[in-house]
């Protein structure tokens, strides 16, 4: 299984980038034991179009350009379903058991996802009821992917 994170908003050098790289490295290192063969992160700068609809449309095209044919797409959105860490890991395991080879997580820009992306995605995922800046949402998502891998491997990182 391959994980991809496609995000609007470039991480500059600093603590957020260090954390994101750390979690991506952890996923890559431990993921092989859980049948995760790759973690890839793609990001784009926020659109500078004059209105929200145009920005979302431009960002939508960028995000979907990184989605391989047949991938299972999870868009992070406040309207999505929030999971416990255990439930999220179980969901990842179910997708793996269904022979889903690519899971792509889409993180929108400040205006969120376009209605088309919300409809086109296989599912919407919320990181809780609060709104998070995209820099932190990326790190939180990567941490939860890593946590899922450790849960699937019965590694002691996750303590209930």
pLDDT digits 0-9 by tens, 90-125: 999 999 999 999 999 999 999 999 999 999 999 999
CATH number of 2-152: 3.40.1280.10
Q: Average of pLDDT values for 39-60?
A: 95
* Spatial CA neighbour of 10 closest among 38, 44, 41: 44
Asked if the model's pLDDT at residue 34 lies above 90, the reply is no
Give the pLDDT band of residue 31 (cuts 50, 70, 90). Answer: confident
Q: Considering the entire predicted model, what is its pTM?
A: 0.94
pLDDT score recorded for residue 160: 63
Q: Average of pLDDT values for 4-18?
A: 93
**Cβ-Cβ contacts under 8 Å for 129 (sequence gap 6 or more):** 78, 82
Q: Average of pLDDT values for 36-40?
A: 92
74 with 106: CB under 8 angstroms? yes
């Amino acid at each position: 299984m391959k994980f991809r994170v496609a995000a609007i908003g470039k991480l500059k050098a600093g603590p957020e980038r260090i954390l994101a790289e750390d979690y991506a490295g952890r996923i890559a290192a431990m993921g092989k034991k859980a049948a995760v063969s790759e973690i890839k992160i793609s990001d784009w700068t926020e659109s500078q179009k004059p209105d929200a609809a145009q920005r979302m449309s431009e960002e939508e095209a960028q995000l979907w350009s990184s989605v391989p044919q047949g991938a299972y797409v999870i868009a992070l959105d406040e309207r999505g379903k929030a999971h416990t860490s255990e439930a999220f890991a179980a969901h990842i395991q179910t997708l793996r058991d269904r022979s889903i080879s690519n899971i792509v997580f889409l993180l929108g820009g400040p205006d969120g996802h376009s209605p088309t992306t919300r409809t086109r995605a296989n599912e919407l995922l919320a990181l809780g009821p609060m709104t998070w800046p995209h820099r932190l949402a990326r790190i939180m998502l990567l941490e939860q992917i890593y946590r899922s891998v450790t849960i699937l491997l019965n590694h002691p990182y996750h303590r209930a």
